[in-house]
Amino acid sequence: MNLRQLQKNWEGFARTDPFWAICTDSARHGSKWIPEEFFATGRQEIHTALEYLESLGLPPDKHSPALDFGCGVGRLTAALSEYFDECCGVDISPTMIQMAAKFHESNPRCRFLVNETSDLRQFNDRHFAFIYSSIVLQHIHENHVHSYLSEFIRVLKVGGILVFQIPDRDRTHWVQKIRNRLGLRRKVTRLLGRKSIHAYRMGMHCIPETKIRQFLSGQNVRIADVRLTNSTDGNFNGNLQFLDEEPQHGFISKQYCVVKTG
C-alpha cells in the first residue's frame, strides 16, 4: 500500500469514528468513546512509557522537544506535553491533524503537522530528545517503516531516546485469520457504510525482531531493550501493558527502546 492510499484510508476513519480507529475497543465502536476518557488513556500510556524508561535508567531530556509520530487526534501528544516543554504531533491524515489542533488549541506546548511523505523533512537533524510511536508503524508497509526509522534516527539528538512498537509476527491459525478479517470487515462496514468498504482498510504489517536489529545495526544507535506488549490486541483500549510471555494466538507486539549514540 502506497502512502496516498494509506492517507485515503485514515482520512476515511478520521471522518467517521476517529477515536475508535485509534483505540479499537469493540465496546466503544460507533462513536462511543467519551473524549475525556479517550484522552485519559493517553495520559496513562505515557505515564507507563516514562516509568518504563526510568526503570531502564534512561530518563529523556524533558526540556528538549518530543515527537509523537502518527499522532491522530493528539491522544499521546497532549499527554507528552505534561512532561515536555515542547511536543509535536505528526500524522498523514489532514482531518486528524485538524481535529488534534482543535482539541488542544489551548495547549501552548503542542503543535500538529501533516506529514504526507516517507521522510520528516520539516525537521532539522538532531532536533528531538524523545520520539514515541505507538500503534502506528503496524499499519505501514515495511519499506516505509525503514524510511521512517532512518528519519527518526536523523532527527534524534545524540543521547536521545526512540520508543516504537511494531508486530513481530502473527501466530493466528489460518482459519481464525479469515474469521478475524471478516469480523473487521463487518465492523468497518458498519462504520463506513457498505459502499465504502472497499475504499478503506486498516492493514496490519509485521517485521520480525531479527530484521529490526539488522536494519538498526551500524546506524549509530543501540537497542536498549525490547518488550512484549498488548498493543496489537484487537480490543486495545489504550491501556498499555508489558507482557511476560508471548500470547498463544494473534499478533506478537514488541516495543523497542533505542538510544542514539552518535
| Rounded distance between C-alpha atoms, residue 196 and residue 178, angstroms | 20
Q: Into how many domains does the chain fold?
A: 1
CB atoms within 10 A of CB 208: 14
Strand order in the sheet with 242-243: 110-114, 87-91, 66-69, 128-133, 156-170, 251-260, 221-229, 242-243
The yes-or-no verdict on residue 152 having pLDDT over 60 is: yes
Question: CB under 8 Å to 16, separation ≥6 — which residues?
Answer: 191, 192
The yes-or-no verdict on residue 116 having pLDDT over 90 is: yes
**pLDDT score at 135:** 96
Query: pLDDT tens-digit profile of 22-78?
Result: 999 999 989 999 999 999 999 999 999 999 999 999 999 999 999 999 999 999 999
The yes-or-no verdict on residue 183 having pLDDT over 70 is: no
Question: CB under 8 Å to 192, separation ≥6 — which residues?
Answer: 12, 16, 199, 200
* Dihedral, CA of residue 88, residue 92, residue 98 and residue 102, to nearest 10: -40
> In the predicted model, what is the mean pLDDT of the chain?
91
**pLDDT score at 218:** 87
For range 139-148, the mean pLDDT: 96
- Maximum CA extent, the chain: 51
Band the pLDDT of 188: cuts 50, 70, 90. Answer: low
**Residue among 235, 166, 234, 226 nearest 25 (CA):** 235
CATH number for position 18: 3.40.50.150
Structural domain span for residue 113: 3-260
Q: Residue 68 phi/psi, 5° resolution?
A: -105, 105
Asked whether the whole model's pTM tops 0.85, one would answer: yes
**pLDDT score at 190:** 57
Band the pLDDT of 253: cuts 50, 70, 90. Answer: very high
Rg (CA), the chain: 17
**pLDDT score at 191:** 55
**pLDDT score at 195:** 43
Query: pLDDT tens-digit profile of 198-249?
Result: 456 788 999 999 999 999 998 999 999 999 999 999 889 999 999 999 998 8
* Dihedral, CA of residue 95, residue 101, residue 103 and residue 104, to nearest 10: 160
Query: pLDDT tens-digit profile of 154-173?
Result: 999 999 999 999 999 998 75
For range 67-93, the mean pLDDT: 98
| Rounded distance between C-alpha atoms, residue 44 and residue 175, angstroms | 35
